[in-house]
Structure 1
Amino acid sequence: MARSNSFWQRHKYKLNGLVLVLPFWFLYQSLTPEFPAAWPAQQVGGFEISPMPLNQEPPYAHHDEYVKDFMLIFSKGDISTLRQGYLNIGPAALPLAQLQQGEAGILHGSRHGQHVHAIAPKNLAGRDKVWLTLQTWQDEILTTSWDLPSSLLRK
């Protein structure tokens, strides 16, 4: 019986080669991320902190609320003196009692950088700011804010 020399039979090995090459492409992409520049540092209490968004995308839905990912770089101050810290985006800082009700918005990480899923509205507006609320072990509440850059605001 003669074998059919169809298009699929002649080129199916190319699909196998693609399946072998794609994991290396995705590995390269995951090992070489590109982040936006960090925002200007601000002094709050004994800390100097600069936030860096992990991307220029709008907030995304995460566990039934909208969040935006940030990394906070503490260039001055000892973060072991902090009891807790929260980040939210909006017209005003959320009260600490409200922030403590959920797990979103809380800072976590090491002394080299704190990651946070900042609580955010679905759509960012020009009046919104990024608000950082810190509580020390002496119950001192520190709050600061950064204006949102226009690159994060959708038109």
Structure 2
Amino acid sequence: MAKYNHTVWDRYKYKINGLLLILSCYFLYQSIFPQFPDAWKTQMLAHYEITPVPYNLDPPYLHDGSYTKDFLLSFSKGQVSEIRQAYFNIGIAPLPLEILQQGDAGILHGSQHGQEVHAISPKQIEPTHKAWLTIENWQGEQYVTSWDIP
């Protein structure tokens, strides 16, 4: 009969595989039932009624060389198809469209059910900062509103 030397891997490989199966069930549950922070106050902007919801309470993260924070914007009134372009940024003042159009950061994208945005943000959000939404329609009219950051 051959003598077999058991290694650490041979001893624990079935337990590690079982742990991986349990962890996959846990992460599946988290993806099916996500938990978001509370929605911010709904505001009217022209004929749009907009409610922003941050994806998490984490600080802004570095993405393609600029700091961003993720939001979902729900439009309960108004047609999203009437918007030519819309941008979301965090700061002391809204960025002008001429600067926002130079890149793809901060632009709203999605469907009529919800617009996702990777908002342009400073590295550290200060109490004096606000979240600014800039919308331009197909007639060239621009609308700007802001939310206080809780």
Shorter-chain TM range is over 0.9
Over 3 Å off, 4+ runs: 1-12
TM-score (norm 1): 0.89
Distance (whole Å) between structure 2 residues aligned to residue 15 and residue 120 of structure 1 = 41
Task: Give the drift of 1:12.
Answer: 3.4
- Tell me what 1:138 maps to: 139
- Tell me what 1:56 maps to: 57
Distance (whole Å) between structure 2 residues aligned to residue 33 and residue 80 of structure 1 = 28
- The one-letter code matched in structure 2 to 1:52 is V
- Tell me what 1:69 maps to: 70
Q: CA RMSD of the aligned region, Å?
A: 1.6
Task: State how 1:37-48 maps to structure 2 within 5 Å.
Answer: 37-48=38-49
Distance (whole Å) between structure 1 residues aligned to residue 64 and residue 48 of structure 2 = 31
TM-score (norm 2): 0.92
- Tell me what 2:21 maps to: 20
Matched, 1:126 2:134: no
2:16 counterpart SS class: helix
Identity, % of aligned pairs?
A: 55
What are the ranges of 5 or more consecutive residues in structure 1 without an aligned counterpart? Answer: 150-155
Distance (whole Å) between structure 2 residues aligned to residue 69 and residue 6 of structure 1 = 46
1:19-52 CA distance string (max 9 Å, x none): 3332222222212110011111111101111100
For the structure 1 residues 106 and 7, does the alpha-carbon distance in structure 2 shift closer, same or farther, using more than 3 Å as the test?
Answer: closer
